Structure 1
Amino acid sequence: MDAKVDNSSTLFKLKKRRSTTSFCNLLIMGSFLRLALTQQNRRKRRRSRDMSEIPLDLLIEILCRLPAKYLARFKCVSKQWSSLISSRYFCERLYTIRQRKRRPHLYMCLVDTDGQSALLSMSSTSPDNTCFVVDQDLSIPGMGGHYLNDLHGLMCFSMGKRACIYNPSTGQRLTLPKIKPHIIAEQGQNRSINRYYIGYDPVNDQHKLLCTILMYSDRLFNLKSEHWVFVLEAGGSWKKVVPHENYRPHAPFALGQYCISGSVVNYLAWHDMYTYAIVSFDFRSEEFTTIIAPEDDRDYVFVPALERKANLIEYDGKITIFEHSYLKTRGMAVLWVLEDAEKKEWSTRSLVLEPCQRHLVEDTELIVQGTTQDGKVILAPSAVPSRFYILCYDLQSNDLRKVDIKGVPPHHLIDKERYFDLRLIDENERVIYLET
C-alpha cells in the first residue's frame, strides 16, 4: 500500500515538473518571439526612418546620375518611384544634369528584309569623334520601319499601323491610336507608308505629331494627300488638318531629312515627278506653306523623282537643299541656300571632292542622315556594309572623313540585306515627360 502511494506521489511530482517545464518553455519561446518581433519592428521603423530621412531633392539628384537603363527598372520599385521618375520635374532635372557632360550620341535603327528592327545607342569614344561604340540595345518587340524622327529626346517610329513615341532616357513609351483616313485608294493607286514629323508648339507648351497619308498611281500620277495632327497629352486624339484653298497635294521624300525652326517643321516633298518643294508646317497655327525648289539645269537634264538625291539641311543658319545626285559619279554636290523665304531668293554653291577622297563615295550609294552639332553632314551607305561606318562632310572646308562604328552585337550581323537610319541627338535635347 505504501509502495502504491509512493509511486502515485512520484508520478504526480513528475507530471508537475513536466508541466512546469513546458510552461517555462512556452514563456521562453514567447519571450524570444516578442524579442524577434520587436527587433523586426525596430528594423522596419529604422528602414522607414532612414528612407524618410533622405530628402526628396537628394533622391532625385542620385537617380538623375544613374544610367537610363536603370531608371526604367527602378520604376518597378514602388508606385511612388514610378510617379517620381515619370514626372515632368524629374525629366527636366535629368536633362539639366546630363547637359553638363553631354557628348555626341547616335541612335541607329537596323531593319532587315523581313521587317525585323533593332534600335542601338552609340556614344563617341574619341576626342575627335572618329569612332562611335554601341553602348546599349534599345530594341523594342514589334518595332517597324527604319525612319526615325526625333525632337527633344523623343523618338517616333511605327508599331504595326500605329505610331509609337519613345523616350530612351526614361524608358517611357506611348503607342498612339490608329488613323482612319478619309481618302480611299482608287483602282491602280498605291497607299504609301505614313510619314511622321514631331514638332513643338512653344506658346501652348505642347509636343505634336504630324502624319501625312498618301494615295498615288505610278510615277506620282493622281497624287492625293491628307494630314493629321496629334497632341502628345493625356486624352489626345488625331485631328485632320484643313488645308487652305491654294494647298497642293505632295509626297514627302522617302529618305528625306527635315529641319525644325521654332514651331515650324520643314521637309522636301514632290508635287509630281519633276517638281519638288520645301514644305513648311507650323505646329502653332497648323498651316502649310510651300516654296518650289530651284532646278539645276546646267546639264539641261531634269532629274526625275526616283533618281534625285537631295535632302534638307541647315547650313550657316539657313534652310538649305543638299543636292548629291552626282556625288558618287562625279564627286560633286550642290548647295541651294534659301536666303529669303518671303522673297523666295536662293543662292548656290558647288562642292567638288578632292581626288584623294573620291574613293570614299565611289563604291556605294549614300544617303543623308542629318547633321552634327557643328554643321557637318552625316552620310551613310544606303545598305549596311560588312563594316559599319558613316561619313562626315564638312561643307565649310569641303572635307570628308570616315567615322567607324564598333560594338554592334553579332546577332544583328545576320546574312540578310539590312538598311539603317541614324539620328544624332544634339546639345539642345530636352528629356520630356510623356503623359499617358
Structure 2
Amino acid sequence: MKKLALHWQILIGMALGVAWGMSSSSLGLNSFTTDWISPFGTIFINMLKLIAVPLVLVSLITGVSSLSDISRLSRIGTKTIGTYLATTVLAVVLGLILVNIFEPGKAFSPEKREDFKEQYASTASDKSSDAAALEQQGPLQPLVDIVPENLFLAMTSNGSMLQVIFFALLFGIALILIPPDKAQPVNDFFEGANMAILKIVDIIMMTAPYGVFALLAGLVVDFAGDDPASAWELLMVLGYYCIVVIIGLALMIFVVYPALVVTVGKTKYTHFLKGIFPAQMLAFSTSSSAATLPATMECAEKNLGINKEITSFVLPLGATVNMDGTSLYQSVAAVFIAQAYGIDLSLSAQLGIVMTATLASIGSAAVPGAGIVMLVIVLQQAGIPIEGIALILAPDRLLDMLRTTVNITGDATVAMMVARTEGQLHPPTEITVR
C-alpha cells in the first residue's frame, strides 16, 4: 500500500488538531490539552528552530564557495535583493489599495473598540515597549546589527539570522579567494555537514503531522477558552478585516507570483504550487519562515529542480529579509486601525507606510508574531494610535499563519526566477512529495 504523501498527512493533522481543540473546549479538557498535547507542538517547533541556524550557515557557505568567482556572487546577489525589494513594495501597495477600497475599520462600533482595548491592554503595552526600544536606535543601527561582534553569540538566537548570514557570506567569499588546494578540504567538510543536516531535516519532517496536530490543538484551546462560542463570535466581529487581508494574500499567491513564475521562471504555476505545497502547509502550521526554511529548500531542490547553488543563497536570505505577506498585512492593519479611530490618512502618510513597512519587513525576525512588533513602528510613523493594535491581536495568529505561507511562496518564486536567469533551473520529470 502506497504511503500517504507528507502534505496530506500534514493536512489531516491540521484538521484533527482543530477538531480536538474545539472538542476540548466543549468537554472541559483544556488543561489536558495544554499539559499533555500542546508540549509536543512546542517540541516540534524547537526541533525546526534547532536546525535553522546550522542549515543557513552551512548551506550559505557551501553555496557561495561553489560560485567560484566574486562577480557571479555579486550578480546573483543583486538580482535576489532587487527582486525581493520589488515584490515587497508591490505587496504593501496592494494592501493599501484593498484597505482603502473596502474600509473594514469603519465596521467597528465604539463599544467594541473599548472592549478590545481593555481586554488586550497589557499585550499592546508590551508590544509598544518593544517597538519603542527599536525606535530609539539610530538610522544606521540596522546596518550595525548585521555585523556580529561574536559569531557564537549570534548563533544562539534565530532572531540574529542576518548576522549568521553575514558571516557565512564572508566565509564563503574567503574560500573563493584562497588557493583552491587549501579551500578544497574546507569545502569538503561543509559539503558533508550539509548532507548530514539535510538528513536531520528528513528525520524531523517525519514528525510534522504529529507536531502540527499538537500545535493547532493548543492554539484553538488558547483562543476559545472554556466557551467555543466566544471564538466564533470574535472571528465574526473581525471577519471583515480578516477577509480583506486574506484577499490581498490570495492575490499575491494566485496573481502576482503566477505572473512572475510563468513570465520569468517560464514554468507552469500548477507545477510550482504542487512542488512547494508541503512547505506551504508547514509554514501555515508553524507561522515561521525560519522554521519552514529546511522544508522550503528541500521542496525547491527536489520538487522544482532549482540548483542547490541558488537555493542555498536565495532562500536563507529570503527567510530573513523577504516578508511579502507580512508587509501586506502591516499596510492593511495600519490603515484599518486608523479607520477604526476615525483618522483620515493623507497620500503622503500612506506613502510613508509603504516605506516603513518595506524597511520593517527586512528587519522582522522570521518567527511567529514578529510582525506585530514591527507593526507598532509603522503605526508610530504614520501617527496612528498605538493602542489600536489591541483591535487586531485576537485574529493575528490565524493571519500570521497565512502571511507566513505567502512569505515562503515569495521566497521560492524569487529563487525560481533567479535560477532561470542563471540557467540553474532543471525541473524534474516527476515531483516527489513525501
Scaled by the length of structure 2, the TM-score of the pair is: 0.21
Q: With CA pairs under 8 Å and 6+ residues apart, which has the higher RCO, 1 or 2?
A: 2
Scaled by the length of structure 1, the TM-score of the pair is: 0.21
Larger helix percent: 2
Larger of the two Rg values belongs to structure: 1
